[in-house]
Amino acid sequence: MPNDNQTDPVSPDTIRRAQKEQSQNAAQIQLSPLAPGLYIVATPIGNLRDITLRALDILASVDLVLAEDTRRARILLGAYNLKASVSAYHDHNVAKKLPSVIKHISQGKSVALISDAGTPLVNDPGYKLVRACIEEKLPIFAAPGASAVLAGLVSSGLPPDKFLFAGFLPPKPTARRLALRSVASVPASLIYFETAKRIEACLVDMQMVFGDRQIVIARELTKKFEEILRGSISELIVCVKETPLRGEIVVVVAPPSTQEKWDENAVRAALLPLLKTEGVKRAAATIAEKSGHRKREIYNMALKLKDE
């Protein structure tokens, strides 16, 4: 007796045709009315193919595109034959431009914010605009995508589970060393943007403050001359002296490799108050992370303290 749920077999040609149609439909830019609000749209950091389909849909449909550099924005839009209205928005015209943008959105318009490359607000203009939209209770939508910070981190080979992005370091040596010292003990990979002109001086100061940690220099990410240099800080100082770098640079510094262990009295003093509020397991985990001791050692000590 036939099964009512049984369907006729589909031929391989039919499957291939359906997959092709779906692929073509997915790749088409969708023109559709957008809800009023601010759209924070990530754009490629180099390779123009690194743009999402959703970003293209938004840029094709939005009422206004705000761009840090309108010339670079038009190159991107032109590559995809988009005819969006573009207006400059940068650090030097925020005071003049912001009120009109807020009014625009309040009147039911959609506005997209893009930067020269990557995700807006990450070391780029836009923070004040987002804050103003929040204060006016206007909708904000994020269209995530390319980011030099994350591209540098995931290609570095350094620990990615905890990281601190610190933007550009100060250009003057004294201020730069002070900024480096402020994060020297942070148990995370440190990520910086740097210029080719200052990279050697930056590395020298890093070696002075951090010691000879492992470091990665990611240059011209996603572009034709992409290059990733890995090694100790001293090794890369020699490297950049021999072959000066060009282009845009992301620097990733490894976390501190060693940690001075607390003595037993320090561990006991830190554990006792935590045991009253956190319990043995959580207290041990917290102190193990800070003290340089293995979690099992601290856990056993915590058990003894609890029984005392």
Flag whether pLDDT at 285 surpasses 90: no
Single-letter amino acid, residue 154: V
The pLDDT of residue 22: 45
pLDDT band at 261 (very low <50, low <70, confident <90, very high): low
DSSP state of 33: P
**What value does the mean pLDDT take over residues 151-160?**
96
Q: How far apart are CA 140 and CA 62, in angstroms?
A: 13
Flag whether pLDDT at 15 surpasses 60: no
**What value does the mean pLDDT take over residues 295-302?**
86
DSSP state of 226: -
Burial of 131 (0-12, 13-18, 19+ CB in 10 A): exposed
Residue 88 three-state SS: strand
The pLDDT of residue 70: 95
**What value does the mean pLDDT take over residues 30-38?**
90
Flag whether pLDDT at 166 surpasses 60: yes
57-96 burial: b if 16+ Cβ within 10 Å, else e: bbbbbbbbbbbbebeebeebbeeeebebebbebbeeebee
* 3-state helix/strand/coil string of 253-301: ECCCCCCCCCCHHHHHHHHHHHHHHCCHHHHHHHHHHHHCCCHHHHHHH
Cβ contact 270:293 at 8 Å: no
Among 213, 297, 294, 293, CA closest to 253: 213
The pair of three-digit structure tokens given for residue 78, joined into one six-digit string: 């032109």
**What value does the mean pLDDT take over residues 218-232?**
95
The strand ranges marked E within the chain are 37-41, 64-67, 86-88, 110-114, 140-143, 163-168, 189-195, 214-219, 227-232, 248-253
The pLDDT of residue 269: 79
**What value does the mean pLDDT take over residues 247-273?**
82
CA torsion sign for 85, 90, 92, 98 is: positive
Q: Which residue would you say has higher pLDDT here, 301 or 27?
A: 301
Q: How far apart are CA 247 and CA 203, in angstroms?
A: 17
The pLDDT of residue 280: 85
pLDDT band at 25 (very low <50, low <70, confident <90, very high): very low
Flag whether pLDDT at 259 surpasses 70: no
118: left (phi over 0), alpha (psi -120 to 50) or beta: left
The pLDDT of residue 148: 96
